[in-house]
Amino acid sequence: MKSLFFNLTLCLTISSLFALYPKEMMASEVSAEETEAEEVGAARNKVIVPSFDPAEKGIDDFVFERSSKPEKQPTLIPQKKDFSFDARTIAGIMYYRFEENWDDGTSPSWQDNMPFLGVGFRLGYKTFSLDTYFQQSASGKDSLFQPRDKNAGVHSTKDYNSNLSRKDYAINLSYSKALNLLTRSDGIGLSVGYKIGKTDITGPRRRIDDEGKINLGVDNYEELQYDTEGPSVGMAYSFKVGESILGINLAYAKLKTSYASKELDDATLEDTDGFTVGLRWNSNFTKHFKYDISIDAYQYSMTGKSKKLGNFEVEESVLSAKISLHYTF
């Protein structure tokens, strides 16, 4: 009996001790575990900073604190994927017409269908691009007719052949921004640039007779040089058709003009302006090769003056169709 009483007393004593102290002991253990967890979390979230003491270590002795989840830092340095560059070859044909209308009723004109070749380059950065190109036509031919002899009758004529050629240069800075009007490929582009056009015409020398009219020389030839250059602004709208892009463009140019003729050395032209309209179809062969087909048209008119012959009007018209093959690097 005494033994049973002793055992019961011992159990009650041990139970009392556990009842008095477990909360403090468990709290101490939990607090230790939470502190350790917080330290581990702080170490994981800590920004990577090089530990470097110039007095003790060299540049090769950088020590980085490890982090399991380093934060991605923003960068202002342009990435390679932001840039694009492509080169292109151009081939096409143009209908070219250059006409003069003098006060005395003389209206010489030159026109022909002339093939042309060219090259172009484009550097792009995100939605901006810088484009430049050069193209030159083959030599076109046209004929002027006049009576062979005043006494020979109106049906007797002589054919005077003339040669003409055309060169074009341009550089444009463009900005394109998707408008999402119909599909994600729809967009509008704005551009500013500078363009130069040069026309050379070699034909019979134009002589001024006693009546103050222009007559063609029989054997002597002269060269007429007509140039335009100036700034331009344009807008283009494009939208997706299947896997291709169809675009419409409109550009306005304000041009200075130059008119040089050996016989009519006092002739000058006023500045001119005008619009160019175009239609373009663009598609890809592969990831790097693509092509575009375009049709463009413009017409410029200007007024000229000459002390020898008075006033005259000049009209230049171009309608061209071309295909360009692009390679994107």
How does residue 58 score in pLDDT terms, banded at 50, 70 and 90? Answer: very low
How does residue 161 score in pLDDT terms, banded at 50, 70 and 90? Answer: confident
Give pLDDT tens digits for 180-200: 444 444 578 899 999 999 999
Cα 231 from Cα 227, distance rounded (Å): 14
Does the pLDDT at position 63 exceed 60? no
How does residue 65 score in pLDDT terms, banded at 50, 70 and 90? Answer: very low
Does the pLDDT at position 269 exceed 70? yes
Domain positions in the chain are 2-64, 82-328
Q: What is the pLDDT of residue 109?
A: 83
Average pLDDT of the residues in 66-80 = 55
Q: What is the pLDDT of residue 183?
A: 41
Q: What is the pLDDT of residue 187?
A: 75
Does the pLDDT at position 30 exceed 60? no
Neighbours of 327 (CB within 10 A): 14
Q: What is the pLDDT of residue 36?
A: 58
Which residues fall within 8 angstroms of residue 309, CB to CB, at 6 or more apart?
102, 103, 104, 208, 212, 214, 264, 267
Q: What is the pLDDT of residue 104?
A: 72
Alpha-carbon distances of 154 from 140, 145, 160, 315, rounded to whole Å: 28, 11, 16, 28
Average pLDDT of the residues in 286-298 = 94
Pick 282 or 18 by higher pLDDT. 282
Residues of the chain with pLDDT > 90, as a percent, come to 40
Which residue in this structure is represented by tokens 């994981």? 44
Which has the minimum average pLDDT: 69-73, 230-234, 251-255, 300-304?
69-73
Does the pLDDT at position 49 exceed 70? no
Q: Which CATH superfamily is domain 82-328 in?
A: OMPT-like (2.40.128.90)
Neighbours of 103 (CB within 10 A): 12
H/E element holding 84? strand 83-102
Q: What is the pLDDT of residue 11?
A: 54
Pick 109 or 235 by higher pLDDT. 235
Does the pLDDT at position 171 exceed 80? yes
Which residues fall within 8 angstroms of residue 94, CB to CB, at 6 or more apart?
113, 114, 115, 116, 137, 166, 318, 319, 320, 321
Residues of the chain with pLDDT > 70, as a percent, come to 61
List the structure tokens of 65. 């604190």
Cα 91 from Cα 292, distance rounded (Å): 11
Q: What is the pLDDT of residue 103?
A: 81
H/E element holding 24? helix 22-45
Pick 109 or 4 by higher pLDDT. 109
Q: What is the pLDDT of residue 74?
A: 54
Average pLDDT of the residues in 257-281 = 88
Cα 326 from Cα 89, distance rounded (Å): 7
Give pLDDT tens digits for 130-139: 999 999 999 8
Q: What is the pLDDT of residue 167?
A: 96
Does the pLDDT at position 153 exceed 70? no
Going by C-alpha positions, the residue among 113, 141, 96 that lies closest to residue 318 is 96
Pick 112 or 222 by higher pLDDT. 112
